[in-house]
Amino acid sequence: MSCGCRSENNSHPKYKVLQLLGEGVYGKVAKCRNRVTGELVALKVMKIDKNMEYY
């Protein structure tokens, strides 16, 4: 599953990516499972615009 996570297998050290839930202008939302507790969560992977100003 491709969600834009940093590793090649599209997983995070703390969370296993299960499913892409949605995609919008600012990023993607994925259904994930906490590898330790088994808790289901939704994680938003934000797109980074290097030209955008942040406050």
pLDDT tens per residue, range 5-50 = 544 455 678 999 999 999 998 899 999 999 999 999 999 988 887 7
Range of the domain at 31: 1-47
Domain-embedded: residue 1: yes
- The pTM (predicted TM-score) of the whole model is 0.66
Question: What rounded mean pLDDT belongs to the chain?
Answer: 81
* Pairing relationship of beta strands 15-23 and 40-46 according to DSSP bridges: unpaired
Total number of domains in the chain: 1
Q: CA angle, 45 as apex, 7 and 38 as ends, to 5°?
A: 75
Domain-embedded: residue 54: no
Domain-embedded: residue 40: yes
Domain-embedded: residue 55: no
Task: Count CB atoms within 10 A of the CB of residue 50.
Answer: 4
Domain-embedded: residue 52: no
44 labeled binding residue: yes
pLDDT confidence bin for 1, thresholds 50/70/90:
very low
